[in-house]
Amino acid sequence: MPRHNEFRAILFSTLLPLAPAHLLGCAGSQAGHGSEDLRPVDEARAVAVIDEALTAQHLTVAPGADVASPDGDVHVELWVEQGYGIAYVTELEDQKSGGKLPKAKGRVLPLLRVEGDRTVLVLYDRDYQYDAGKTHSSTALTAELKLKRDVTDFALQVVKK
């Protein structure tokens, strides 16, 4: 028979998923609440976060450039190692490409082959949004950490392989 504290822990962990969000202080996560204030991480800040993530992996970073691909032209923010780049695509850039650039499929990050047989990780600003309103259902730090995680995954699983 479990002791009193163990019993409370088991009971709490069983009932916690059933508790309404507003009782747990998560009102900002309710559907539609504050969603009009979602903003993507600013492009300049995103480039700084990408640079930090690549440098942390001991990769040499070089300035990006505009490149052509069969799926549309794209601006690569930064190049690393031999033939790997990262593009942070804004809504306007996505529209200019006609929406032809590859999209993520679940946790599989979208890669694009560009001129010179180089590989570019395509990241969309809409995937790195935070709540700039009063509810702060998601913070800028959370969005930046997600961006950093995706860049680190690319560095480890593609560039360094």
Question: DSSP characters for 45-100?
Answer: HHHHHHHHHHHHTT--EEEEEEE--TT--EEEEEEETTTEEEEEE-HHHHHHTTT-
* pLDDT bucket at 86, cuts 50 / 70 / 90: very high
pLDDT of residue 69: 87
28 domain residue, yes or no: no
Q: Which domain holds residue 68?
A: 39-159
57 domain residue, yes or no: yes
Number of folded domains that form the chain: 1
How many Å apart are CA 79 and CA 155, to the nearest integer? Answer: 11
pLDDT of residue 31: 42
pLDDT of residue 110: 94
34 domain residue, yes or no: no
> pTM for the full model?
0.74
112 domain residue, yes or no: yes
Q: What is the pLDDT of residues 2-40, one digit of tens each?
A: 444 444 444 344 444 444 433 333 434 444 444 568 999
Q: What is the pLDDT of residues 35-67, one digit of tens each?
A: 568 999 999 999 999 999 999 999 999 999 999
